[in-house]
Amino acid sequence: MIAPPTPASIAHAVHALQQGQLLGLPTETVYGLAADACNSKAVDQVFTRKGRPKGHPLIVHVVDAAAAMHFAAEVPDFAAQLMQAFWPGPLTVILPRRAGVADAAAGGHPTIGLRCPSHPVAQQLLQAALAAQPPVYGLAAPSANPFGRISPTSAAHVGDSLGEDLLILDGGDCRVGIESTIVDCTRSQPIILRPGAITASQIAQVTGCAACTGDQPADSAPAPHAPGTLTAHYAPNAKVRLMDGPAIQAALDVLGSDAGHIALYTRQRMRAADTVLQRRMPAQPEAAAQQLFRTLRELDAAGVALIWVETPPAGPAWDGVRDRLQRAAASN
């Protein structure tokens, strides 16, 4: 059931969370499938409903940095700087977890992923949840899609893939469109586990540390464990191929009118038969991110066998979009 966000629907949602029920939660990145992070039975249902393996920890959403301290055992200086600079917003920090808190959400890991979303509906809900008796300190919420599939950027996407019986607060279309940047803050310097709207250079600027990726561990400890950041992810039914623009054009020229089973997602319009479905990828990375999952869904719904996507430009501003497309292409 999709509900417009009103004081009454938010109060109802808080009550449902207190009862251990699940909720479709709008955030600025993608919609989440939320449960009270401290209710292990409710959290178990999130794993079941998503079809997600239990070892993959969930991000816990909190109203502010003070509420994060219910879950975090300690916050290194550079993590505090990141939270100060980018919260509320599309940044998740991985911190050492307070013993015995949110075990199920953390998948048994000694750490916890924390995020303070900026979406006004998420903020209102988190505030009301924290003020309730008994309080709900945080919401464990993975993206509200079946495991391995495309993340939802509208309330309707959530209902389509997880069922109409779920209570979904309608927060409109997501502004960012791809999931938060995840930064591991459990070691001596920030390590980006998943690229997103907040870029490596922004993180480096705020912390004064060169933020490296998970492939290049900053110290001798083993690489951080981000079980959900699997290579194959974000899979539409159609096969996704990433190619340079000229390679796509050359292949289309060869196929001619036989290209009807192919959809195109490119920055420039391609020469192709009229029957070929074409969508333009915006020239700006923020706009491309905002539309990415919706476009993949639309092309997939048209029933094509192949989606040919033009490789995004080089450069850190495109890291998030490139990452999601590479995973979508690796799925098939």
Q: β-strands 59-61, 139-140: how paired?
A: antiparallel
- Selected from 154, 180, 295, 311, the binder of ligand TXA by CB under 6 A is 180
Q: Note whether 195 binds ligand TXA by CB under 6 A.
A: no
297 in a known ligand binding site: no
Q: Alpha-carbon distance 146 to 315, whole Å? A: 31
Contact partner at residue 26 from ligand TXA, Mg ion, none, CB < 5 to 8 Å by partner kind: none
CB closer to ligand TXA out of 181 and 249 = 181
Which range, of 83-91, 115-123, 142-150, 186-194, touches Mg ion by CB under 5 A? 142-150
CB atoms within 10 A of CB 287: 13
CA 77 to each of CA 80, 97, 186, 187: distance values in angstroms, whole numbers, following the listed order:
5, 16, 11, 11
Task: Tell me the C-alpha distance between 127 and 146, whole Å.
Answer: 28
In the bound complex, which residue of the shown chain has the CB atom lying closest to Mg ion? 143
Cα 142 to Cα 154: distance, rounded to the nearest angstrom: 15
Q: Which of 143, 153, 189, 199 binds Mg ion (CB under 5 A)?
A: 143
Q: Please identify, using beta-carbon distances, which residue of 230 and 251 lies nearer to Mg ion.
A: 230
143 is in an annotated binding site: yes
Given a contact cutoff of 8 angstroms between Cβ atoms, the answer to whether 33 and 148 are in contact is no
Would you give the distance in Å from CA 82 to the centre of its chain? 18
191 part of the interface to ligand TXA, by CB under 6 A? no
Residues 204-263 that bind ligand TXA (CB under 6 A): 225-229
Please state, in angstroms and rounded to a whole number, the distance separating the CA atoms of residues 136 and 326.
Answer: 37
CB 157 within 8 A of CB 65: no
Residue 137 in marked binding region: no
Q: Does 56 bind ligand TXA (CB under 6 A)?
A: yes
Place of tokens 């292409």: 329
Interface positions with ligand TXA (CB under 6 A): 27, 29-30, 32, 56-59, 92, 94, 106, 109, 111-113, 115, 141-143, 179-180, 182, 193, 225-229
Q: Could you tell me which residues are annotated as the binding site for ATP?
A: 52, 111, 143, 151, 194, 234
